[in-house]
Amino acid sequence: MATYGYARVSSASLSLTIQQEALKAYGCEIIRSETHTGTKVEGRTELETLLQFARAGDRIVVTRIDRLARSIIDLCAIVRRMETAGIVLVAIEQPIETSTPAGRCFLQMLGVFAEFETEICRERQLLGIAKAKAEGAYKGRKPSIDVARVRELAASGMGGTAIAKELGVSRASVYRLLGTDRKTVVAAA
């Protein structure tokens, strides 16, 4: 029976040190850490490594469940996968240990609150953007592609792939901008 730690922060400007120290103090033999958003599971290679490596009877330890997932759907999927493999989840700053009924109950409640917090933050961000747009302070990001140049090159008979190479953008961007699919552009060329 082994004890593994998992630490995660969402941006490089944040430090993993506090989590790693807490996991070491708890007794984690191996700690996997990564910088990645907690709002989705895709791309979290260190978490995937732990889930594949851990065996029945092992424990995966986090400081708080929001380090594991920020949506109840992802949290439930991760926990279900762990339970199926016989792996116990422990959150050391919260009374969570999935080997007990009370721990599983508390886990589900905290998962709902973590998702709620994420949605509230997203809502505030969208309200701030709407306000900035209304005040004329928000203009969005600058276009990464010169629309007039793409249309000019297409009108001169250049194909989508050639336009993409010429401007250093993806073919998909060119086709999306021209409002056509690849077959139409190729047939016209």
In angstroms, the CA 118 to CA 115 distance is: 5
Q: Tell me which amino acid residue 171 is.
A: R
- Judge whether 177 and 144 are in contact, CB under 8 Å: no
Strand order in the sheet with 3-9: 30-35, 3-9, 59-62, 88-91, 96-97
In angstroms, the CA 88 to CA 82 distance is: 7
Give the distance, in angstroms, between the CA of residue 20 and the centroid of all CA atoms in the same chain.
20
**Which long-range contacts link 76-80 to residues 24+ away (Cβ below 8 Å)?**
76/108, 76/111, 77/41, 78/41, 78/47, 78/51, 79/107
Selected catalytic residue, list 10, 33, 99, 173: 10
What does the radius of gyration of the chain's CA atoms come to, in whole angstroms? Answer: 24
Q: Is 10 labeled as catalytic in the residue annotation?
A: yes
**Residues involved in catalysis:** 10
